[in-house]
Structure 1
Amino acid sequence: MRRICAVKRSVRFPVSTALLRRLALASIIANVGIVVTGGAVRLTGSGLGCPTWPRCTEESYVTTPEMGIYGVIEFGNRLLTFAVGFIALAVLLAVLLHLPRRRDLVPLAVAVLLGIPAQAVIGGITVLTDLNPWVVGLHFLASMLVIAAAYALWRRIKDPVGPAEAVVPAPLRTLAALTTVVSAAVLVIGTWVTGSGPHAGDHGAARNGLDPETISQVHADSVFLLIGLSVALVFAFRAVGAQRAARAALVLVAVELGQGLIGFVQYFTNLPALLVGAHMLGSCLVLLATLSVQWSTRERRPVAPSPTPDAADRAVPVAA
């Protein structure tokens, strides 16, 4: 009888926490990767390599030799979406096999999986609107949301099941939240800068009409604000003895400085494609580092298991 129960348990929980975390990390990496490859599509002028969607041409779902290298690059990026979706599906299946231990992971896994086709649909709309810069920006921001959900899933897997408790005072949690809002604003304004610049994804694509110099200055000012808030977090966390949060904030400052350096160099060197691609990767890293800081302000404590009926029966009452 005990052997049968042991077999049932092994079938019920075939996915370890370690494997689940590896799959969730792979999902983060894959989603960051498709942002970078999507940037390569735009930077090589291949945004309309497949001039329609969901087909690549009116007659074919795949690229044709007549479409040349631009069609190959655009179609290749579309294929990568299936790979990213497959990883997200694997994560969801692993979470379901992990049940009922971690029911709290299901909504996040579903959000990541559903976010990928949603992001792909927005990508299709960018093609159907001839790379409208506002839709292109929305396409990038949708990817950022999927990355954020994938990161939250990865962190929640490591955390024990239990209520989140604050590890820093309320004013510092507010400061961290403000830093997160400013970081999001930097990403949004960055899409406006991109929409005003020369890398449209196709020679005939329209620009958003914003003055590149003016909007670049607004973007730079928002970056300075973000760095200032992040440096403040480092010193504030150290002052209250929150070393884990201070380390996360220090990593954020380092990532922001690296990203800022790439941004300034690309601006003063007329936006070379390689640096613009590195800047897109940096945007993903800034997002992840920002989320790490936000996560470090709270900590989940494991919930003590309730005594089993057998244990309660065996309990010896204490004399008054």
Structure 2
Amino acid sequence: MQVCLNGTRTREECAHVPWTATELAAAAVSAVAAGADEIHLHPKTPDGADTLAADHVAGALTAVRKAVPGIAIGVAVGALPASDAAQSAAAVRSWTVVPDSATVTWQEDGADLIAAALQERGVRIEAAVRSAGDARRYLARPRAVDVARLVVEITDADPRTAPAAAVALLTTLAGPASPVLMHGRSAAAWSVLHMAAIRGMATRIGLQDVLELPDGTPATNNAELITHACRMITHASAGAPVPHRGAGSAHRGQRRIRSSVLRAGFAQSKLTVESLWLRYVGVGGAMPFERLHAALHAHDLPELEHDLIAQALNEYFLERGTPHPVAYADEVDDHRT
């Protein structure tokens, strides 16, 4: 699980985004304690602008390495026009302290020049691909460019359509031979993270990608995002760990009661359907977004799906100190009988 500490976020977007070496080090410590095992950061000038200048890169890397020794640290080289590629490559060659890895976006034709400079410095290259055009440029790169990992960034910020966009981009890449880290942006960051976890891919989260938790509340820091992401990955990897004691068969009256239980819990939560769906996929659900609203009113919902939605609601309530208000299917049935 990679934490992306800052990205191009401004203080207007997020007052607590880390910029300085000291801030980056503190953010790294808390994120690693929460479960992150690698770090991605953007070195900054004092006013928060991205920079490849040797002194700023060295300051950030030295501070973070001292704070979290043994944790791999990567930096962003950025998506730069071809006219700036030579300047960026020269900056890489001037570094006095080098990162473990660097992400190069294959968005422009100058990526090969930057990658060559990174290889000269012994820095692992991570190739960021955001579109079908990026994918074609990446696949056509010189054979001499050795890519350690492919970073598939899904730019569709709609959680309902981002998974389909991810499938389309992965298909364009035609089963990449390199390991893959896949991540999303904004509201779609959580659905893409869940999809990556199910597929066994590496993924990431952090203030660079999203400023809200799965339920839509603002994240206080990177560590809080990592905590929620690790929980989502655990659920996804386990399949669907919800209280479920047998498939059983319920008569029509029981199914109607189950439906009313879910609707009441959903109304009490005041969550949006989108927020509930993100929590539902976080506990292992697989229904598309557009089916979840209908499922809340369905009288023929399978017991497992009832329990997944109930689990998503109950986790939300438990986070707010309300214990287990939404009954699982067999609890409804036991009470009925």
Q: Report the TM-score when normalising by structure 2.
A: 0.21
Point out which structure has higher relative CO (alpha carbons under 8 A, 6+ apart).
1
Structure with greater strand share of residues: 2
Quick check: which has more Rg, 1 or 2? 1
Q: Report the TM-score when normalising by structure 1.
A: 0.22
Structure with greater helix share of residues: 1
